[in-house]
Structure 1
Amino acid sequence: MSNTISILIVDDNKELCEILYESINNTGDMRVLATVGDGKAAMDLIRELQPDVVLLDIIMPRLDGLGVLESITSMQGIKRPSIIVITSVGAESVVIRAMELGADYYIMKPFEIGMLITRIRQIYSEREAYDSYLARLSDYRESDSVHTASSGPIRPDTNNAARIVTELVNCIGVTPNLAGYIYLREAVLYGMEQPERLENISGNIYTLLAQKYNTKVRNVDRAIRCALLSAQKKTKNADSLNEDMKETFTLNNGRQPNNSQIINFLVKKASKRLMDARYRQFG
């Protein structure tokens, strides 16, 4: 990792802040910009310092962690930081609400410092990979537009598959701010490229993702599940669900489908859309 990861610690536990400050600064690839103990001051520092990652407690004076997440959601004009919630609050309603508001990961106290540092690197790497993907996609769309205007349609390639999968994943409510977004998106792409891997998603696809992002298979599975639960929560009370979301929730006799079922569904859906696009292109 070539860049130093800048971090803001937001927690009213001064002793914990001191431990995190020393441990993170000793990594060599991370730097703590500041520590702060209340949400109002945290928002000022987020705007001023624009950290890559914010470590955020939930229970704090003046403005709690959920309030900070809400404020970050409405920020304009600056790059949104990645958010790792570190808290002793384990209520499911709070976890779900934090994920809905854009938390990238949720860690319960007490935790191992080494595990936290690994998560910071993982989430930063995912964010960099996604930003790089968006840049490539933007360049591709620009070149696509120019090429189409000058010499007619161009041949579909892997960029088309990536675009289709990205649109589908977003359609079912799994957005880039969720920790499992990159895992789910790449799992579907792996399944499209090598359908035989779908026979054992945990062994064949999660293992690849765990190696790529220097994490464990169970963490990949858990991040995808958390992202899907957040997506379900965001859409289940809507007046009407989009058709892709409706289909995913009727896969398993009306019960919540598991990760493998949803990945298989998305692979099938994306592959059909890609074939349809090719048919329209050359048919």
Structure 2
Amino acid sequence: MDTVRVVVADDNIQLRDMVAEYLQEQNGIEVVGTAGDGVETLRLVTECEPDVLVCDLIMPQMDGYAVLERLQAMKLSKQPGVIALTALGRDDFISRAVNLGVNYYMVKPFDFMMLAQRVYEAAGESLRAEALSAKMIQKQGGKPSGETLEERIANLFLTVGIPAHIKGYQYLREAVRMVMDNPELMSRITKELYPGIAHRFGTTSSKVERAIRHAIEVAWNRGRIDALDEAFGKNVCSLDDKPTNGEFIALVADRLSVDRTA
């Protein structure tokens, strides 16, 4: 792909113009249209056939969710990758967006350079995304990206195919957080990690274990091994060789720790 064609939709005209201007300045990105409401967004996507839609979820006339629903129903010859912008990071909001095919979501305020990286990734431009990521790390003096840990976990789960509406998603997210704070928990999964998660959510250790297992199986059954390998930066497993709960938690925690310390 020579040029990534992008439509930017947000009812905040100042933010919309800033995002459009920043993306337009990036190598290989062309902003082909901007919109301030859902109706105009649909028209631009239909007419301009962008590779990526950067879309606020809360807009007048027709919100971002309705836009995504209409796009799915329209059966376009080329569905754009979608990056959802939102001021709220609630699980139910994320779950609904994921079910409507969002590639990434970003909570406002967000880092513009990270947004550009997500645009490249949503368009399948992995080399450009990696180059921008390296530039971002250099600019920040080796510090991690502007994404919060919540966003990084959610986007990683989104990439590998774990839906946000199932219980295992919440338990896995909590497990990753706990292990990143205290790596020694990996050697005490059944004695401390599962009970800690169960206490947090008012359930039992066995239910936590089963829900996490189910979440991992959902991801593997979707057959997106290439996405899994890309997300973790290694050949993790085959379709017939799923990792254990502990192995998967360790993979995610290790990946996020590497990103944080790179």
User: One fold, TM greater than 0.5?
Assistant: yes
The CA deviation at 1:263 is 7.9
* Deviation of the 1:223 alpha carbon: 3.0
Shift of 1:4: 0.9
Shift of 1:264: 8.9
| Cα distance, 1:233–1:4 mapped onto 2, change above 3 Å | same
Percentage of matched positions with identical amino acids:
27
Asked whether the equivalents of residues 98 and 164 of structure 2 are also in contact (C-alpha less than 8 Å), the reply is: no
Root-mean-square deviation (CA), in Å?
A: 4.0
Q: Deviations over 1:54-77 (max 9, x none)?
A: 000011111001001111111224
Once structures 1 and 2 are overlaid, which stretch shifts more, 95-104 or 260-269? 260-269
Name the structure 1 match of 2:257.
none
Please report how far the alpha carbon of residue 213 of structure 1 lies from its aligned counterpart in structure 2 after TM superposition. 9.9
Per-residue displacement from partner, 1:127-156 (whole Å, max 9, x unpaired)?
x89xxxxxxxxxxxxxxxxxxxxxxxxxxx
- In the TM superposition, what whole-angstrom CA distance separates every residue of 1:209-236 from its partner, at most 9, and x where no partner exists? x9699588988764342354417649x9
Q: Which amino acid in the other structure matches residue 163 of structure 2?
A: S
> What is the match of residue 155 of structure 1?
none
Corresponding residue of 2:29: 30
* Matched ranges for 1:146-157 at <5 A: none
**Higher Cα Rg: structure 1 or 2?**
1
Query: Residues 115 and 253 of structure 1: is their aligned pair in 2 closer, same or farther, counting only changes over 3 Å?
Result: closer
Unaligned runs of 5+ in 2: 135-143, 170-205, 226-236, 243-262
Gaps of 5+ in 1: 130-209, 237-249, 273-283
Partner residue, 1:254: 210
3-state secondary structure, aligned to 1:256: helix
**2:203 maps to 1:270:** no
Change in Cα spacing, 1:221 to 1:95, as seen in structure 2 (3 Å) is closer
CA distance in 2, matches of 1:231, 1:95: 7
Find the aligned partners of 2:49 and 2:238 in 1 and give their Cα distance. 40
In structure 2, what residue type is equivalent to 1:225? F
How high is the TM-score relative to the length of structure 1? Answer: 0.52
- Note if contact 2:162-2:219 (Cα within 8 Å) is conserved in structure 1: no
**Count of paired positions:** 177
Distance in 2 separating the partners of 1:64 and 1:263: 29
Counterpart-to-counterpart distance in 2, 1:269 and 1:16: 43
Off by >4 Å, runs of 4+ in structure 1 = 210-222, 258-266
